Structure 1
C-alpha cells in the first residue's frame, strides 16, 4: 500500500502589526464576526500586493482599506460606510472591493474616492459579497456569501463580463468565500467555508459551468477562506479555525502546511508579493497582523500596477 509522505510544516513570521493608533479602539460597529477570541478593534482581510511593493488590506468592521508601503508604514487609503472584505485590481489600476454591506465598489487609491460598481441584481441587494478576482480578459468573478451555510445552501458565485453582463455560475453555494483561477483560467476554485470544502468549477466559453466537484475536503469549526495560486499550480488554502494555510498541488496532493508565527490563529486570506513575487502575505485577522512566508517560486498572478 502506498502512502503520501507527511507534508512539511512551515512557520510564518510577522511582517507588520497594525499599530494601536490606527485601530478603532472602543468604536462601535454593526459588524460581528463569529469568533470566540477577544476583539482587537480590527479585522484584516483581502490582501493585494502591487508592483511598487505596496500591500493593501481591508479592515472589515470599520469600512477601511489600509495601505502598507515598502517601509512598512501603515496609512488609511479610504474609509466609507461599508464592510469591505475582498480586494482586486482592475486594468485601470483601481481597487475593486467586495463589500458585504454595499455590493461591488471601485476605489481610486490615488484619491481615496469610492464609487459603486454593482450594488444590485434585478433591483435586489446581494446577500453579502465576500471576495473577488479579475481574469486576463477583464471579467470579474465574485462570491455572494451572506449568511449561507449547511441549512441555507443558496450562496452565489457571479461573473461580471467585460461587456457588463452579469452571469450566475453557482446558485447552491455553501458559504462561498475566497476564489482563484487556474493558471490557464479554465478552472475556478471556490472556497465553501461552512461545507469545509474547496470546489473546482470547469469554465466553458459559453459562460456555463458543468461537472463542478469537491477538490479539497477539510474539517474544523470553520472551513477554507482565502485562496491563492503559485506558478507551479499549487493551491494555497487559508483555514482560520485550524490556524493554517494548506498547500496542495494541482491534483490535490498535500505539499505543505503553513502555521501561524504569532499568537493569532485566524489566517483568513493570502496573496503573493515582494520583490520577486515569492513572498506569501497572510492576514492574521483578529490580531491585526500581516504574516509572511518566503516561498520557493512565484505567485501565479502577476502583481498589478495600482494608481498612486
Structure 2
C-alpha cells in the first residue's frame, strides 16, 4: 500500500526520457532535422564519407551493403555488397579508392580492403588472414598512412587499441593499446592530436603525437572526458576549428567538444525521449559547408534508418583527400 504522506519521486523533466540527459543538460543543445531516409528497415548505418565529386558513401554493418547517395537528387543506390563480414566504415584514400574497414567475427577476423566504387579491383590492405584485429574505423594522415581502431574486448578485458599503418601499407605500429573496444578515431587539423573513443568504458582519449605521428608526447595521452549512460561513444569527426563531434550509440545524440576536450554542445535526434532512433553512430560534414549529417536507426522500434542534419559550430575540415 502506498503511503501518500511521504515525499515521492515522480517522473518529471529529464527523468521522463528513455535516455535522460543530466550531466550535459546545460550545454547548448539543438535538435537535428530529418534529411534522408535510407531504408524502411532498421539498418545499422555507419561510415559516412564523401568522394571528390561530393557523392556520399556509407555502409550498413550487419548486411554488408555499401550505399551511394547522389547529393543533387538524393537518389540512393547500392553499388556493391562487401565480400567481408560486418563492414563498419568507408573512407576515401587520396588515390580515390574506397577503403572499407570490417569487423569480421568481432574476435579475430577483421581487416581493411580497398576497391573502386563498384567493389571491383579488390586489394587487401590489412588482411584478416595475417592479422587478428577487428577494424572499426580509420583516419588518413597527409602522408597517405592511416590510424585504425581495433574493436576487440569489453569493459574488463581491454584487448583493443589504435595502430598506425605506414603509407606503403607494409608496417603496422601500435600507438595505444589495452583499450576496451576502440571505436571512433579522428585526427586534428595539424595532425598532432589523435582522438579515440572507447565504447565499453565510456571514455574519450586525447593523444598528443610527436612529429613522427607515432610517438606519444610526454604526458600527451589523457582522458579529458568520461561519458555516462548506455551504450557509449561511437564514431567521431572534426570541424575546421578542431571541435570534435562524437556520436553516442544507444542515446540518439551527438556530443561536441572543443580542441581541449571540453564539452561545448550537443545535437539531439528527434524522438529520442520516446526511445526512437537511439542508434546514432556517425557524424560527417558535407565538404565545403558547416552542414553535419548524422546516421541513426530504429531497429527496436521499426522506424527505419535515416540521416539527420544540423549546422555545426564551423565548416567541416577540408582535408587533403578533397584536394
Assess same fold via TM > 0.5.
yes
1:119 is matched with 127
For residue 113 of structure 2, the aligned residue among 74, 99, 105 is: 105
User: How far does residue 294 in structure 1 lie from its aligned partner after superposition?
Assistant: 2.1
1:77 is matched with 79
2:165 is matched with 160
Structure 1 portions without partners, runs of 5+: 24-39
Deviations 1:243-294 (A, max 9, x none): 21011111223221100035311111111115x3211111103432111112
1:53 is matched with 54
Report the CA distance shift for 1:142/1:124 in structure 2 as closer, same or farther (over 3 A).
Answer: closer
Q: Report the count of equivalent residues.
A: 280
The answer as to whether partners of 2:82 and 2:119 remain within 8 angstroms in 1 is no
1:285 is matched with 297
Bigger radius of gyration among the two: 2
1:9 is matched with 29
The answer as to whether partners of 2:111 and 2:131 remain within 8 angstroms in 1 is no
Aligned-partner Cα distance in 2 for 1:192–1:236? 14
The answer as to whether partners of 2:66 and 2:79 remain within 8 angstroms in 1 is yes
Aligned-partner Cα distance in 1 for 2:245–2:59? 20
Aligned-partner Cα distance in 2 for 1:5–1:55? 33
1:254 is matched with 263
The answer as to whether partners of 2:49 and 2:90 remain within 8 angstroms in 1 is yes
SS in 2 for 1:109: coil
SS in 1 for 2:282: strand
For residue 151 of structure 1, the aligned residue among 140, 156, 161 is: 156
Deviations 1:12-49 (A, max 9, x none): 111111144xx6xxxxxxxxxxxxxxxx3x21001112
Aligned-partner Cα distance in 2 for 1:91–1:249? 27
2:282 is matched with 269
Q: Is the aligned partner of 1:219 residue 2:233?
A: no
The answer as to whether partners of 1:55 and 1:68 remain within 8 angstroms in 2 is yes
User: How far does residue 200 in structure 1 lie from its aligned partner after superposition?
Assistant: 0.9
Report the CA distance shift for 1:120/1:59 in structure 2 as closer, same or farther (over 3 A).
Answer: closer
Aligned-partner Cα distance in 2 for 1:77–1:105? 16
1:31 is matched with none
User: How far does residue 112 in structure 1 lie from its aligned partner after superposition?
Assistant: 4.3
Q: Is the aligned partner of 1:205 residue 2:217?
A: no
1:180 is matched with 186
User: How far does residue 182 in structure 1 lie from its aligned partner after superposition?
Assistant: 1.2
SS in 1 for 2:62: helix
Structure 1, 195-204 or 106-115: larger mean CA deviation: 106-115
Report the CA distance shift for 1:18/1:232 in structure 2 as closer, same or farther (over 3 A).
Answer: same
Aligned-partner Cα distance in 2 for 1:245–1:279? 14
The answer as to whether partners of 1:280 and 1:295 remain within 8 angstroms in 2 is yes
1:130 is matched with 136
SS in 1 for 2:95: coil
User: How far does residue 110 in structure 1 lie from its aligned partner after superposition?
Assistant: 5.0
The answer as to whether partners of 2:197 and 2:204 remain within 8 angstroms in 1 is yes
SS in 1 for 2:250: helix
2:311 is matched with 294
Aligned-partner Cα distance in 1 for 2:120–2:322? 16
Q: Is the aligned partner of 1:195 residue 2:201?
A: yes
Report the CA distance shift for 1:11/1:165 in structure 2 as closer, same or farther (over 3 A).
Answer: same
The answer as to whether partners of 1:158 and 1:166 remain within 8 angstroms in 2 is yes
Report the CA distance shift for 1:298/1:169 in structure 2 as closer, same or farther (over 3 A).
Answer: same
Runs of 4+ off more than 6 Å: none
Structure 2 portions without partners, runs of 5+: 1-23, 105-109, 299-303
Aligned-partner Cα distance in 2 for 1:248–1:125? 32
Aligned-partner Cα distance in 2 for 1:124–1:232? 36
